[in-house]
Amino acid sequence: MANPVIYGDGSTDYEKYIRTQELYRLQKGPGEWANEEELLFQTIHQAMELWLKVVIQHLEQSVAWVKADKLRDATRFIKRSASMIEFLGDSLKFPMSLAPWDYHKIRMGLGKGSGQESPGFNKLLETPEKLWEAYAAALKKHKKTIDEIHQDPHGLPDLFELTIAMSELDQELMHWRYRHFQLVKRIIGDAVMSLKGIPASALEKNSNMAFFPEIWAVINRTTNAYNAKYRPQGGGAY
């Protein structure tokens, strides 16, 4: 890589631990940029891959903790994962400010590549199923259904808080995917094909996909159960 921008000499303990010299070399140098926006574009995506690595580690650890019945620890990591996903969604506002014409100059360097090839994101997509399986096993271990957990949140509060944390994670994943669609719509368009030949509008459909649909379904059942027991006939839910 020609003339990457490097700060410091790598001699301090901080630089050695963070490996700043290697880190700086991962970005193109000014002589290789398609335009002045490319450093932002490349750095945003590199940073996102690293954050996804942390999220995956947190969720895999959460699965292990749920299996070990360490529900509070799992809840803490899942909530943090949700916050990290929220942060990633917020970070999309930076590339959102790119002019479409400037973006297309950068895009040429991707060849036929696209964000759909993100190894971090594709790995992340595998983790919710594992988390759900561990959660379902925990319900069985405690001889409870998800409906019972919602209709008596104080009976087994650790399981209830875990359920809520999983819904927060699911919500942030949907928000992130929707914001990514909005980014694509803003700088590429929603009526064009991606470099992989997939219509950009497909991203919008995926943004509504829940990883834990049963958690959202039980909220409807909980409302109906409460109304049936306590609300007068014909009373609304809200």
173: left (phi over 0), alpha (psi -120 to 50) or beta: alpha
User: How many other C-beta atoms can be found within 10 angstroms of the C-beta atom of residue 34?
Assistant: 16
Question: pLDDT tens-digit profile of 211-221?
Answer: 999 999 999 99
Average pLDDT of the segment spanning 103-121: 87
Q: Which of 27-31, 188-192, 224-228 has the lowest mean pLDDT?
A: 188-192
What pLDDT score does 238 carry? Answer: 59
pTM here is: 0.91
Residue 193, SS3?
Answer: strand
Output the pLDDT for position 102: 95
Give me the residue spans of the domains in the chain.
38-230
- Return the number of other C-beta atoms located less than 10 Å from residue 89's C-beta: 20
DSSP-derived letter for residue 30 is: G
- CATH topology assigned to domain 38-230: Methane Monooxygenase Hydroxylase; Chain G, domain 1 (1.20.58)
Mean pLDDT of the chain: 92
pLDDT tens, residue by residue, 31-47? 999 999 999 999 999 99
